[in-house]
């Protein structure tokens, strides 16, 4: 490869048609959010490190953010690795006076030191929405429902919704903090290694085993989850995840809902309900979200959709037939564009330009005031 064109690992040029697909996907998603009055914001790519990473959700992003020295102020700056922390800042400061719940949407590029999971990209396009204000069952189901509706509009099918609850996990971690071989125990809980856990004695053992037992398809586990909820009326977390799953299932009858209460969120700033959306049509998770607290310690819930994965969607471009038109003949060009064509100017137009037309997949030449098929 030419050294002059070599890019760092995890970075790549996005060219047509992928670049065009990404742009269309982003605009479609943002328009959908706007239909529900999610107001669009556009934060900067880079901020001072102390502003971006030392408060709210940003505290969890320190190890995965690029830094650079500002030559003017001589202060360290950080490149965003997740736009949620910027939404937190804007909602807490610039839009603190707005009535709650405040609904915001956003899109932009984010850069990460380490790629996520099996994906190699370190620069990704992120688009999403947040609801700022006291979190409730209604607002959490709203953000999940809108996410599923957006993805359904792209003719993606066979969705799986993975629901987790970070409060349950964090509460159990507090109880287990003094247990010997804690890392081995946590690893066994993460892997749901029932044989290992049955051999060990640790605080709250039966509750942890019961919660692990709820993991699986909601349609198969809902009765056990309801029974567990009745036996643990003081545990509002179990009731919460049950209610969310029940509401979403009623709205999306064919949706495969997986309950996994103790799974660790990939975003360390979440503290309540978290979720991931998958589709059989595409590899990997295509949307993630959950509940967190802003830099003002205000509750919020949101969703992020990953455009680079969604660019695998087929039939989104809806390409128009192309027409070669005499250079700078804008009168004809405007007419053809109104008729639904895409225009390409070409100097000294004649019938001999057919080879060029074919090379750019152009179907027609406009010559002698008429469309001639190539």
pLDDT digits (tens, 9 = 90+) for 311-324: 877 777 778 999 99
First to last CA, the chain: 37
What integer pLDDT is reported at residue 352 of this predicted model? 76
| Beta-sheet strands, E only, within 133-194 | 159-165
In whole angstroms, what is the distance from residue 107 CA to residue 307 CA? 10
Q: What is the pTM of this model?
A: 0.88
Give how far Cα 84 sits from Cα of 117, 131, 222, 269, Å.
19, 11, 32, 10
Asked if 65 and 39 touch (Cβ cutoff 8 Å), the reply is no
Task: Assess whether pLDDT exceeds 90 at residue 208.
Answer: no
| 21-30, 62-71, 176-185: segment of lowest average pLDDT | 176-185
Q: Would the CA dihedral through 148, 32, 79, 6 be positive or negative?
A: positive
Q: Among candidates 149, 153, 168, 121, which has minimal Cα distance to 270?
A: 168
Q: What average pLDDT is seen over the chain?
A: 90
Q: Name the helix (H) or strand (E) containing 70.
A: none
What integer pLDDT is reported at residue 150 of this predicted model? 95
Q: Which residue has the tokens 């189901």?
A: 141
* Residue 265 pLDDT grade (very low, low, confident, very high; cuts 50, 70, 90): low
In whole angstroms, what is the distance from residue 361 CA to residue 345 CA? 14
Task: Assess whether pLDDT exceeds 60 at residue 1.
Answer: no
Cβ neighbours of 138 (radius 10 Å): 10
Residues 8-24 have a mean pLDDT of: 91
Task: Assess whether pLDDT exceeds 90 at residue 158.
Answer: no
Task: Assess whether pLDDT exceeds 70 at residue 77.
Answer: yes
């Amino acid at each position: 490869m030419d050294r002059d064109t070599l890019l760092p690992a995890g970075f790549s040029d996005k060219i047509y048609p992928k670049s065009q697909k990404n742009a269309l996907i982003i605009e479609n998603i943002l328009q959908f959010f706007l239909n529900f009055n999610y107001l669009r914001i556009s934060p900067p790519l880079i901020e001072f490190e102390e502003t971006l990473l030392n408060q709210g959700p940003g505290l969890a992003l320190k190890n995965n953010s690029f830094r650079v020295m500002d030559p003017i102020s001589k202060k360290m700056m950080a490149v965003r690795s997740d736009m949620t922390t910027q939404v937190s800042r804007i909602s807490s400061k610039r839009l603190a006076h707005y009535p709650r719940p405040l609904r915001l949407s956003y899109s932009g590029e984010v850069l990460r030191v380490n790629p996520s999971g099996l994906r190699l990209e370190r620069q990704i396009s992120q688009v999403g929405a947040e609801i700022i204000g006291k979190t409730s069952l209604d607002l959490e189901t709203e953000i999940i429902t809108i996410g599923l509706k957006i993805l359904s509009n792209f003719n993606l099918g066979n969705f799986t919704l993975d629901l987790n609850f970070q409060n349950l996990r964090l509460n159990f971690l507090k109880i287990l903090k003094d247990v010997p071989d804690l890392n081995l125990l946590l690893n066994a809980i993460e892997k749901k290694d029932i044989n290992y856990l049955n051999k060990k004695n640790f605080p709250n053992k039966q509750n942890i085993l019961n919660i692990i037992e709820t993991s699986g398809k909601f349609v198969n586990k809902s009765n056990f989850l309801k029974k567990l909820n009745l036996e643990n009326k003081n545990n509002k977390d179990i009731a919460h995840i049950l209610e969310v799953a029940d509401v979403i299932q009623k709205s999306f009858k064919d949706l495969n809902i997986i309950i996994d209460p103790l799974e660790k969120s990939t975003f360390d700033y979440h503290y309540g309900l978290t979720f991931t959306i998958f589709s059989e049509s595409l590899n990997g998770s295509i949307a993630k979200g959950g509940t967190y607290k802003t830099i003002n310690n205000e509750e919020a819930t949101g969703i992020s959709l990953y455009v680079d994965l969604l660019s695998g969607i087929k039939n989104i471009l809806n390409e128009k037939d192309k027409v070669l038109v005499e250079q700078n003949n804008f009168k004809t060009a405007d007419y053809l564009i109104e008729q639904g064509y895409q225009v390409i100017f070409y100097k000294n137009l004649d019938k001999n330009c057919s080879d060029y037309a074919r090379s750019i997949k152009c179907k027609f030449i406009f010559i002698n005031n008429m469309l001639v098929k190539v």
